[in-house]
């Protein structure tokens, strides 16, 4: 079925995690048959979708300031030429406080939660008759995935959601409330989507889930089936797809890092040597209060097992400083754990009190100034580790998947197996190829290199 000629302009602004990036792309796919084509600015858009994140207070507040600006634009356009700009709010804030959004910002036409966006086109059609539709709260991921149209990937790398939702209920986190319980898509559906991506020139896929290593589809045989069940089996299955040369996955929980998945890191060449495995804190007392269900020691044991399977693996993580009750000694334990692990990259956050979560009501809330100081100390350590990791690559030859043109003429940008951005002088035709690059210089965020001959792939 061919789409009608685009007649309407769609602008999507995405905040939050990679899953929101995936969801935004899928919303565009849902709207394309209605004649909506993407544009880069909201200025002339007929429909603006704000895909929102609820994880920290700042993220949520950002939604209201962005909506304030969109309201002005909407009014200016209506006054100038009578244009109608529809404003939709999607994502986790839409799920968590949809009614409040409609109340606080009357310019919003509709609100759609993360499990309802497959109905976006119907909602849009309806809003032109009545304002105030709100679709959220009914968590039915399967219905959504079944209803989504075919994808139209635009690049050589792509995200692919395989698991959604979370049952872990870490005491600081809103995700179980905004995304619902853990749900895993069927491997057949994932494989079909991955094959389709590969057929469109995608060479690297990142499997997404709020707890992606908890992946366990309904008819899975579990860890006893011959490929190991769960995410390990899925990775091995996707690794067989011709053209799909690189597989990554994110985000994982330490307690779901099973033996089969660790073994896959040592055995599946397509599985890239990079692992984002958030630990949050190095203090067992705090980990317990967070309901993480692991200790610092068990985390370090897991890391050791992964490194035994894949010695060069790059480890990344998330950290929270200033969780309620965190003392200096707890924070020192976090620094000690960080020193022991040695991170290639990491994300660190000040604890943010989220309404409705157990930690928000805990005694011992930490003063902002203390959080600031701890964050600065942790970041100094993590930055030094990231720099050291990047510098350790200088002089090595790495296979780089070139993704796009760089800022300077003649330059391309790609990724190393360890997810570092790498730039090098290379012809445009190498976009989409995996090319041998000798690393010549390192900065905190990226590497610079030069092509080596002969190339890994025919040019
Ligand atoms: N599902 C993933 C990540 C979810 S959110 C996991 O379990 O690892 C991404 C990160 O945001 C978390 O790892 C955590 O470090 C941070 N985060 C979540 N809630 C937070 C809060 N209330 N305050 C500060 N950081 C938070
Ligand atoms: Fe949030 Fe914890 Fe679930 Fe991650 S595992 S999404 S941090 S509740
Ligand atoms: Fe934010 Fe929702 Fe992702 S709260 S981090 S957009 S799951």
DSSP symbols for 241-264: STT--EEEEE---GGG--HHHHHH
Q: What is the DSSP letter of 280?
A: B
Question: What CATH homologous superfamily does 397-451 map to?
Answer: Nucleic acid-binding proteins (2.40.50.140)
- Secondary structure of residue 162 in the 3-state scheme: coil
Give a three-class secondary structure readout of 315-376: EEEEEEECCCCCCHHHHHHHHHHHHHHCCCEEEEEECCCCCCCHHHHCCCCCCHHHHHHHHH
Q: List, in sequence order, every residue forming a beta bridge with 397; answer none if it has no partner.
A: 438
CA of 1 to the centre of ligand 2 (A): 40
> What's the confidence (pLDDT) of residue 453?
75
Number of Cβ atoms within 10 Å of the Cβ of 380: 11
Residue of the CA atom closest to atom 6 of ligand 2: 175
Quick check: 212 and 159 in contact, CB under 8 A?
Answer: no
The closest-lying atom of ligand 3 relative to the alpha carbon of residue 51 is 6
> What's the confidence (pLDDT) of residue 229?
67
Length of the chain: 459
**What is d(CA 300, CA 289) in angstroms, rounded to the nearest whole number?**
19
**What is d(CA 105, CA 38) in angstroms, rounded to the nearest whole number?**
24
pLDDT tens over the chain, length 459 residues: 455 556 899 999 999 999 999 999 999 999 998 899 999 999 999 999 999 999 999 999 999 999 999 999 999 999 998 889 999 999 999 999 999 999 999 999 999 999 889 888 888 877 665 555 555 545 577 888 888 888 877 899 999 999 999 999 999 999 999 999 999 999 999 999 999 999 999 999 999 999 999 999 976 544 444 455 699 999 999 999 999 999 999 999 999 999 999 999 999 999 999 999 999 999 999 999 999 999 999 999 999 999 999 999 999 999 999 999 999 999 999 999 999 999 999 999 999 999 999 999 999 999 999 999 999 999 999 999 999 999 999 999 999 999 999 999 999 999 999 999 999 999 999 999 999 999 999 987 899 999 997 555 554
Q: Could you tell me if the CB of 277 is within 6 A of ligand 2? A: no
Q: Could you tell me if the CB of 349 is within 6 A of ligand 1? A: yes
The closest-lying atom of ligand 3 relative to the alpha carbon of residue 114 is 2
Q: Could you tell me if the CB of 208 is within 6 A of ligand 3? A: no
Domain with CATH 2.40.50.140 in the chain: 397-451
Relative orientation angle of helices 18-31 and 120-127, to the nearest 10 degrees = 60
CA of 310 to the centre of ligand 3 (A): 30
> What's the confidence (pLDDT) of residue 199?
95
Alpha-carbon separation of residue 50 from 10, 144, 314, 324, 415 (angstroms): 11, 19, 33, 32, 29
Domain with CATH 3.40.50.12160 in the chain: 8-142
Alpha-carbon separation of residue 371 from 129, 314, 321, 356, 359 (angstroms): 49, 27, 6, 22, 16
CA of 272 to the centre of ligand 1 (A): 23
Q: Could you tell me if the CB of 334 is within 6 A of ligand 1? A: no
CA of 101 to the centre of ligand 3 (A): 17
Which of 179, 211, 317 has most ligand 2 atoms within 8 Å of CB, for mutation?
211
**What is d(CA 378, CA 376) in angstroms, rounded to the nearest whole number?**
6
Q: Does domain 8-142 have CATH number 3.40.50.261?
A: no
Quick check: 426 and 403 in contact, CB under 8 A?
Answer: no
Q: Could you tell me if the CB of 210 is within 6 A of ligand 2? A: yes
The closest-lying atom of ligand 3 relative to the alpha carbon of residue 93 is 4
> What's the confidence (pLDDT) of residue 131?
53
> What's the confidence (pLDDT) of residue 415?
98
Cβ contacts of 144 within 8 Å, gap of 6 or more: 115, 116, 117, 118
Q: What is the pTM of this model?
A: 0.93
What is the chain's alpha carbon radius of gyration, rounded to the nearest angstrom? 23
CA of 170 to the centre of ligand 3 (A): 14
The architecture (CATH level 2) of 148-391 comes to: Alpha-Beta Horseshoe (3.80)
Structure tokens at 99: 């009614």
**What is d(CA 85, CA 27) in angstroms, rounded to the nearest whole number?**
17
């Amino acid at each position: 079925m061919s789409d009608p000629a685009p007649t309407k302009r769609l602008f999507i602004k995405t905040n939050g995690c990679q899953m929101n990036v995936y969801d935004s792309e899928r919303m565009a796919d849902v709207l394309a048959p209605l004649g909506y084509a993407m544009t880069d600015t909201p200025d002339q858009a007929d429909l603006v979708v704000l895909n929102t994140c609820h994880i920290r207070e700042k993220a949520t507040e950002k939604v209201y300031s962005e909506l304030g600006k969109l309201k002005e634009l909407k009014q200016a356009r209506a006054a100038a030429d009578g244009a109608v700009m529809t404003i939709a709010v999607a994502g986790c804030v839409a799920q968590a406080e949809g009614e409040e959004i409609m109340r606080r910002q009357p310019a919003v036409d509709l609100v759609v939660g993360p499990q309802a966006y497959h109905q976006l086109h119907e909602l849009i059609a309806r809003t032109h008759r009545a304002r105030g539709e709100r679709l959220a709260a009914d968590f039915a991921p399967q219905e959504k995935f079944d209803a989504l149209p075919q994808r139209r990937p635009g690049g050589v790398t792509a995200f692919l959601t395989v698991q959604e939702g979370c049952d872990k209920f870490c005491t600081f986190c809103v995700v179980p409330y905004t995304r619902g319980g853990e749900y895993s898509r069927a491997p057949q559906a994932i494989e079909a989507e991955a094959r389709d991506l590969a057929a469109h020139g995608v060479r690297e896929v990142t499997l997404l889930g709020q707890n992606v290593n908890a992946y366990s589809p309904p008819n899975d045989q579990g860890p006893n089936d011959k490929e190991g069940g769960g995410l390990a089996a899925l990775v091995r299955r996707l690794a067989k797809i011709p053209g799909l040369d690189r597989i990554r996955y994110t985000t994982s929980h330490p307690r779901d890092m099973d033996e089969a998945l660790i073994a896959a890191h040592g055995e599946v060449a397509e599985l890239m040597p990079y692992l984002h495995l958030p630990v949050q804190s190095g203090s067992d007392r705090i980990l317990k209060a967070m309901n993480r269900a692991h200790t610092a020691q068990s985390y370090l044991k897991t890391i050791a097992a992964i490194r035994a399977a894949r010695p060069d693996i790059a480890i990344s993580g998330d950290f929270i400083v200033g969780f309620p009750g965190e003392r200096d000694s707890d924070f020192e334990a976090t620094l000690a754990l960080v020193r022991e692990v040695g991170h290639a990259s990491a994300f660190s956050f000040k604890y943010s009190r989220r309404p409705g979560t157990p930690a928000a009501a805990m005694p011992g809330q930490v003063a902002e100034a203390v959080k600031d100081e701890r964050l600065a100390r942790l970041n100094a350590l993590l930055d030094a580790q990231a720099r050291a990791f990047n510098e350790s690559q200088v002089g090595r030859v790495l296979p780089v998947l070139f993704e796009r043109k760089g800022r300077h003429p003649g330059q391309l940008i790609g990724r190393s197996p360890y997810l570092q951005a790498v730039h090098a002088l290379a012809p445009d035709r190498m976009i989409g190829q995996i090319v041998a690059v000798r690393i010549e210089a390192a900065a905190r965020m990226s590497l610079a290199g030069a092509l080596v001959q002969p190339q890994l792939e025919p040019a």
